[in-house]
Amino acid sequence: MPGLTAYVGFHEICAPQPGESVFVSAASGAVGQLVGQFAKLAGCGPVVGSAGSAEKVDLLTARFGFDAAFNYKEEGADLSAALARRFPEGIDIYFENVGGAMLDAALRNMRVHGRVAVCGLISQYNKADGEKDAVRSLDAVVTKRLRVQGFIEPDHKHLYPQYEAWVMPYIRDGTIKYVESVAEGLESAPAALIGLFHGRNVGKQLVRVAHEDAE
């Protein structure tokens, strides 16, 4: 599912062109790490990701080939300024996984006719309706003529054969890389689930209930 999600959001919704700038939030997650690699394969740049730890930031540049990455927790309250430093000419494509203040900052830094693929809003899921963060820069959607589109993977199952034919050669030759977090034992499932909402995982969070060689 993460692979098709990344493919649909980036290639079908964002319609990238070579040389366009790309920002991916929650970029070390199962979807984000693939979006960054797809962007590089498409000739985009700079490709920049945000994550929540130094370890994840290093992973984005050293393993997944992002041009740059930053720890949003170290940027203080002004995420817009953090993005402006990394995208002095603005953002063409924003792959949205976080919501809230990150979405607000990204909208302020989009270029005219930019595209935003809304894949997730992880920062908002555990907040009650009255506690959700306001997005105060929606005027940018009009003034910058942005395309903002939400999507879910089940609507695009028909594209799986197309995606598989495109991605498998890159997986076989090692061009596309991925990292997973594996928790051992069914008893670890609750903690693994909670960890998703605290950014403890890198890539897809899996729970291994048994080893294949176990009797």
Q: Residues 166-193: pLDDT tens digits?
A: 999 999 999 999 876 777 777 778 877 7
Q: Domain limits of the chain?
A: 2-170, 179-215
Going by their DSSP bridges, the two strands 110-118 and 147-150 should be labelled as parallel
Residue 150 CA, chain-centre distance (Å), reads 13
Q: pTM score, two decimals?
A: 0.88
DSSP state string for 53-97: SHHHHHHHHHTS--SEEEEGGGSTT-HHHHHHHH-TT-EEEEEES
Whether residue 50 is predicted with pLDDT greater than 70 in this model: the reply is: yes
Say how far apart CA 22 and CA 7 lie, in whole Å. Answer: 14
CATH topology of domain 2-170: Rossmann fold (3.40.50)
The 10 Å Cβ neighbour count of residue 43 is: 11
Going by their DSSP bridges, the two strands 110-118 and 47-51 should be labelled as unpaired
Check residue 165 and give its pLDDT. 98
Whether residue 103 contacts residue 135, with contact meaning beta carbons closer than 8 Å, is answered with yes
Whether residue 31 is predicted with pLDDT greater than 90 in this model: the reply is: yes
Share of the chain above pLDDT 90, in %: 74
Q: What share of the chain is helix, strand, coil (3-state, %, to 5)?
A: 40, 20, 40
Q: Of 87-91, 184-188, 192-196, which gets the smallest average pLDDT?
A: 192-196
